[in-house]
Amino acid sequence: MHTLDNISEWSGKVISFLIYLIMLVVLWEIIARTFFRAPTIWAHELSTFLFGTIAILAGAYVLRHGAHVNVDIISVRLSLRMRAIVDIVTFTLFFLFCGALIWMGAQLFWDSLMLLERTQSSWAPPIYPVKLMVPLGGFLLMLQGLAKFIRDFVTAITGMESI
């Protein structure tokens, strides 16, 4: 479990540096547009690609730190053991979701790669590297979900929170 946690922790921290790259791209676009009257054709699309990459790859890091949005109207009233049992039962849905991300994302990526797909903009960058992030993000999320499942299983059996 610690190895899975470390993968999520490491990948989340690495991915977080893309925020600085987005900031530089947007800053460059603002300066070019405002001061030089020379807007770029690539800044908006690149910042969108980077943000999408962050959004999909950060899921495992967010799960690791319990920061996903939860509707806890019922769960806060449950004991620690019952919450773990509910999480174990709903793990099936989580597993199916991650499996769909991996399977369908891999198909979308492969089709895009085979066509050497590009966007329809005048800049026309390749889109398949961004599509690769979907199955990769699903895989990272599934790994972290597996660690959470193991922790929930231990909690359901012992009634104590596992590390």
For residue 49, the surrounding DSSP H or E stretch is helix 43-57
pLDDT in tens, 51-79: 999 999 999 999 999 998 887 888 889 99
Q: What's the number of domains the chain is made of?
A: 1
DSSP assignment letter at 75? G
Q: Does any domain span residue 114?
A: yes
What is the rounded average pLDDT of the residues 9-22?
Answer: 97
CA quadruple 105, 108, 110, 113: dihedral, nearest 10: -120
According to the model, what pLDDT value does residue 105 have?
A: 98
* Residue 163 placed within a domain: no
**For residue 163, how far is the Cα from the chain centroid?**
23
Chain-centroid distance of CA 46 in Å reads: 18
Q: Is the pTM of this model over 0.85?
A: yes
**Residue 15, Cβ density class (10 Å: 0-12 exposed, 13-18 middle, ≥19 buried):** buried
pLDDT digits (tens, 9 = 90+) for 133-148: 999 999 999 999 999 9
User: What is the span of the domain harbouring residue 104?
Assistant: 2-158
In a domain, 80, yes or no: yes
